[in-house]
Structure 1
């Protein structure tokens, strides 16, 4: 019969005084004539979160020492596991000697040794084999490190190797006299990271050798030399966390055979809480030439935005101030000159309850400057100051009829420079109002299926009084379900709709077990023609028909599509169209999109554009992952980009292989193919955890 003994005064008097008692559980417990306490048979000892299991434990009070006979199992509070055949430890189970022992860190890395000495937070292992792979009898692990001695610093969370040999399936590959690696519980450690091989048509076969440098608890620096026959590149990333924000700086500098002179880029991102709900955010990118980011695979952006934003978000008010610098990387230099390089914006919004509804107040200031010479649009500068007030209320009337009323008035003052066709100062007022009726009708059928049909009609009016400003911020309006019944469909303030209009729409939502679908149709009819691009679907007195739908199925399938139909429903031309399909389950993640844009010189698109995009990942098991992505130019019947990746991992190693091809070309960039290879040994990388179930050992 087991006995439960709290070893207080007699066994651990010092511990008892500190009120940290040790507990001993055993089948047999007795005291010998020389005052030795012997516990045998299914022994378990607990002290300050550490648990010891053994066949027999003998406590020598005079020497203040525990002699333990195995098999021995010790679990520390941090999850470290020690096994041994025989041990001599202090009563706190911290310092001592273990023979025929095995140390397991964070359930990943196992260290087997002939002898383990534990002294003051240091664990020294003699004659050690280290691996995170499954060890099967009669077969060497996939990889292991053998060393004369390994010292584990529990405080620094580091492993120090002496005379280390790296073996693959028992075959020595590399010898290193001294080696330091982080243990798997260390999330930030200075040292070398996993190298990666990158091969491209332009730069050849190269290797990246990242080094992580911990500057302090809140700062770090990562340096990545990139070496190939055609380039010498140094990449860098600096990160710092503050009490009220974060800062990250990325950059690279290169000397290569592609262009003369040094090349490089630098980007900065930061966000800070200034107190009293005031936030500061900034980001910016500078690059030496238009092709650098693409040549080195850093980004495929063709326009770089650098901005500083100051915002304050309250319960009923919003303040925003922002300055943005834009640099175009496109081939069309004229377009870059017409694009304002510097924009500034300042706005204040307030929302409050009024007359049974919600009132909104807004004041804003916008300005931009161009520095180009030539056409008027290349050198025109505009500043706008505006004030607006709006009101909205929704009520339910009669047999479920939803009545929505809204009104808005805006006053804008413009200052135009370097445009002889317009006066320097302009003033314009734009009032608008609308009343919308919705009548949702619900039908419940058998099997849990329900239908919701909602006809909607909105009668509105907008007026424009005063001068006509240049249209700088409303050139690309979009027509979709979100603005079908809005007071205006222009994204900015420069352009405005005039006259009366009638917006009509009909939506049908059907739901049932395992599915949900929505189909919507709508159109806008006006008394006055709207000057907008033909492709927008908003030009003229009658807009295109807007048709949209969504479908969600049980099992992770989703479809979302929208198109514009020009003409009548019986005789129509397809306009702007977009569709997206997503399918996600335990093994598959698939996302495919289609975009079609008709030709429209007003949107700087002389030819039609159509493109397919696909992103897919297949995980047939926890060990294998297959990834694929592609962009296909359907208008020109040629691929734009394609990529394929293959990943394999087990409990101790991860291998990732990838290939990517970019087919497009410009004056500065040629098509290229790149290959990547990465190998990671689980158990050492800081902060990484491999939780792959090991396979069974063969018989």
Structure 2
């Protein structure tokens, strides 16, 4: 009997055949034991008298999640065997694809022999072999195999960038592992490493225990060495990475432990070293961080930091910190409520700082609540804050007796209530702020201060008159003049300035009734803040924003230092702006200057970003100010950027230059090659730090990762094309 159909015909055939039906009659099965029926699609289907099914032309067969396509399939109902003529494609629907020229398979496609076969895993790794066996649907054995994730083009006789040659490769589908016998790792067909046994995870596996690719490190102080990471999968929700790092001058073990919980996560990382830089000491560091969701919407966060000595982090290039801050915090954020309790411990790694004289232990408690009363309108804000910091020293005066306090401790309580409301009078917007604050501050271990408290009523009225002009092509211009009249009453407290030593004057606090960063002190008396903002917004061209402002006072505020820009009865002029162009260039800046155009502070940042270039640079200037222990100015220029040379090569560089010292502080450069099968990175970094604990050092790094067997970073991957180069 012969059936010929011009178009694609779907024939639902139980590939178990009549024999399978007879077995079902003789031995009952449950529905779950019975294999799923197959679906066969072909241009031409023939069923012979001896119960052979022959399908030809654009043949496709479906068995569960497995899909097979071939030129022809012959099914023997007596033996349950499938004889398949290629080209053959078998896709299991889980990232495993088999390509072959000929095949002899069982009726469920789980066992059999394939010749001229290739195994493709997750569209990344290809395993080409002379012969392939499928065993039990779980194992695939490949003989005389070449493995690579590089793209291989037809009629291209050049070897891939890298490949692994092996006598035999076994793929365990359930464990998702690849086992190699007699493996050679080759670069451009040149053997560089021979391994009798090798195990690698297949690309469909997210996490598996095993070695990661090593990193070559070279440091001018530590010497040349190799870091070999080993990843340990402890479970589905936790893992451990160990990184032995060995040179002629150090024996170091780095580690990282991660664990995810139902309501949180933790990460612990650190290192332990025995080196020649400090041969009599065991050195190391330990950092731990975590976050957990507690009951009633509270969140617990912690970040603990510890190091054996001040120079360790810099010597090994782990972090750029010169102060450690260990924090434990519990907080809750709701629409109209905020609660926070935190503890911070500081440890300085700087030469010129003594931990006994620093406020090492800091505790803060903050509660904020807001209401929207319908009777009076507007918004009512209530807040209460408690703060305490303590120095380890209990000495009132230093050994020289010059009046400098060594052990001062401070405890303060602050309460504040304010009512805010906005009125619209035509185009004029009026914002009012009416409130009162209470402060209680207690000072100990300082005989020059004791305790003080007071109330500070406050009122402020802000007037704005925004103006908008619309032009052609969607261009809009915006100008908003503003002025604020404010008053804060009460007398200043006779307490030391412990928290508000660094004051910034910018657009963010222009309209604040107190511009001190902490409520240990407040601005007092009458003040007027005035200024304006102009903006040009063009969706197809350049856009700009400029803000200019100044603050005038009835009385000068004694606790504002010169570089804050707020000292005297008239503040410095604040000028800030931002400029953006369609081509990806943007520049922003801010400066403070007085009537004589003497600049107290200035900062400028520029960035240029497009498909090939990502460059940024900044300039910072702060004039000298003895009130904040700044005997000389600070001037610094920084640069960082990358340039995409072509689709595969990327160069990067960074540089920080100290204008006052007249030398570079840090510098670095790198180049990386990346395509669909490999990423190679070479970097060099130089630190010019020079002190009693930190010395200049140069480090080199070389990293290699093979696509398909390395961690997926989420970066965009460029694939080499066959024939003409893709644009």
TM-score range, shorter chain: over 0.9
Report the Cα distance in structure 2 between the residues aligned to 1:452 and 1:16, rounded to whole angstroms.
76
Q: 2:425 aligns to what?
A: 397
Q: Of the candidates 615, 618, 621, which is equivalent to residue 643 of structure 2?
A: 618
How has the CA–CA distance of structure 1 residues 467 and 659 changed in structure 2, closer, same or farther, with 3 Å as cutoff? closer
- Does residue 349 (structure 1) correspond to residue 376 (structure 2)? The answer is no
Cα distance between partner residues in 1 of 2:667 and 2:493: 51
Distance change in 2, residues 1:687/1:548 (3 Å): closer
Name the residue aligned to 2:202: 183
Among candidates 409, 425, 434, match of residue 381 of structure 1: 409
1:307 pairs with 2:327: yes
Indicate conservation of the 8 Å contact 1:345/1:364, yes or no. Answer: yes
Equivalents in 1 of 2:254, 2:611: separation in Å? 36
Output the TM-score relative to the length of structure 2. 0.92
1:380-459 to structure 2, matched below 5 A, reads 380-398=408-426, 400-423=427-450, 425-459=451-485
Corresponding position of 1:217:
236
Instruction: Assess, with a 3 A threshold, how the Cα gap between structure 1 residues 394 and 64 changes in structure 2: closer, same or farther.
Output: same
- 1:636 partnered with 2:664: no
Aligned residue among 511, 522, 526 for 2:553: 526
**Kept after mapping to 2: 8 A contact 1:366/1:385:** yes
Alpha-carbon contact 2:556-2:569 (below 8 Å) kept: yes
Asked if 1:108 corresponds to 2:124, the answer is yes
Q: CA deviation at 1:505?
A: 0.4
Q: Quick one: distance in 1 between partners of 2:601 and 2:271?
A: 40
Write the mapping of 1:184-583 to structure 2, written as runs, cut at 5 A: 184-259=203-278, 260-334=280-354, 336-354=355-373, 355-372=376-393, 373=395, 374-375=397-398, 377-398=405-426, 400-423=427-450, 425-465=451-491, 467-512=493-538, 513-531=540-558, 532-566=560-594, 568=595, 571-583=596-608
Q: Does 1:80 align with 2:96?
A: yes
**Is 1:590 equivalent to 2:615 in the alignment?**
yes
Range with greater deviation from structure 2 (46-55 or 349-358):
46-55
Q: Deviations over 1:519-544 (max 9, x none)?
A: 11100000011121100101111110
- Paired residues in the alignment total 693
Distance 2:476 2:264 in 1: 49
Q: Is the 8 A contact 1:284 1:307 kept in 2?
A: yes
CA shift, 1:167, in A, is 2.1
CA distance in 2: counterparts of 1:172 and 1:347, whole angstroms: 65
1:397-436 Cα deviation digits (max 9, x unpaired): 03x001010123111212211111122x321212211100
Q: Choose 281-290 or 682-691, whichever is displaced more.
A: 682-691
Between the aligned partners of 1:691 and 1:10, the Cα distance in structure 2 is: 42
TM score, norm. by length of structure 1: 0.96
1: distance between equivalents of 2:536 and 2:281? 63
Q: Within 1, Cα distance between the matches of 2:204 and 2:492?
A: 69
Say if 2:681 is the partner of 1:656. yes
Contact kept, 8 Å, 1:3 with 1:29, in 2: the verdict is no
Corresponding residue for residue 107 of structure 2 = 91
8 Å CA contact 1:182, 1:686 repeated in 2: no
Offset from partner CA, 1:662-685 (integer Å, 9 cap, x none): 112111111111111111122222
The whole-number CA distance in structure 2 between the counterparts of 1:270 and 1:301 is 20
**DSSP-derived class of the 1:602 partner:** helix
Structure 2 match to 1:142: 161
Q: In structure 1, what is the equivalent of residue 3 of structure 2?
A: none
Structure 2 distance, partners of 1:453, 1:166, is 66
Cα-Cα RMSD: 2.0
Distance apart, 1:352 and its partner CA? 0.9
Partners of 2:35 and 2:164 in 1: how far apart? 43
Mapped contact 2:180–2:198 kept (Cα < 8 A): yes
Matched residue of 2:614: which SS?
strand
Q: Check the 8 A contact 1:582/1:592 in 2, yes or no.
A: yes
Contact 1:433 1:462 in 2 (8 A): yes
Please report how far the alpha carbon of residue 48 of structure 1 lies from its aligned counterpart in structure 2 after TM superposition: 2.5
Counterpart-to-counterpart distance in 2, 1:188 and 1:658: 28
Specify the alignment match of 1:122 in structure 2: 139
Q: Matches of 1:688 and 1:329 in 2, distance apart?
A: 33
Shift of 1:19: 9.5
Question: Do the aligned partners of residues 121 and 319 (structure 1) sit closer, same or farther apart at CA in structure 2, a change above 3 Å counting?
Answer: same
Q: Which moved more, 1:1-10 or 1:73-82?
A: 1-10
2:501 counterpart SS class: coil
In the aligned structure 1, how far is the partner of 2:290 from the partner of 2:413? 29
Contact 2:167 2:181 in 1 (8 A): yes
Distance 2:111 2:250 in 1: 53
In the superposition, relative to structure 1, how do residues 405 and 466 fare at CA in structure 2: closer, same or farther (>3 Å)? Answer: same
**Partner deviation per Cα, 1:478-506 (whole Å, 9 max, x = no partner):** 00011111111100011211110000001
C-alpha separation in 1, matches of 2:581 and 2:120: 45
1:685 equivalenced with 2:710 (yes/no)? yes
Other-structure match for 1:33: 49
Aligned partners of 1:184 and 1:686 also within 8 Å:
no
Deviation string 1:250-283 (CA, Å, 9 cap, x unpaired) is: 1111111111311111001010001221100000
Q: Return the offset for 1:64.
A: 1.7
Q: 2-side partners of 1:527 and 1:496: how far apart?
A: 15
- Structure 1 residues 66 and 316, CA, compared in 2 at 3 Å: closer, same or farther? same
- Gaps (5+ residues) in structure 2? 1-5, 399-403
Question: Structure 1's 547 and 691: CA in aligned 2 closer, same or farther, altered over 3 A?
Answer: closer
Aligned equivalents of 1:444, 1:363: Cα separation in 2:
46
1: CA distance, partners of 2:160 / 2:491:
82
What pairs up with 1:39-78 in 2 under 5 angstroms?
Answer: 39-78=55-94
Measured after TM superposition, the shift of residue 105 of structure 1 is: 0.7
Quote the Cα distance in structure 2 between the aligned partners of 1:233 and 1:170. 35
1:4 counterpart = 2:9:
yes
Q: Which has the higher contact order (CA 8 A, sep 6+)?
A: 1
1:595-614 aligned at under 5 Å gives the runs 595-614=620-639
The within-5 A match list for 1:9-24 is: 9=14, 20-24=36-40
Which deviates the most, 557-566 or 13-22? 13-22
> Partner of 2:627: helix, strand, or coil?
helix
User: Residue by residue, what CA displacement relative to the aligned partner does 1:75-108 show, whole Å, maximum 9, x if unpaired?
Assistant: 2212322111111223332322211100111111
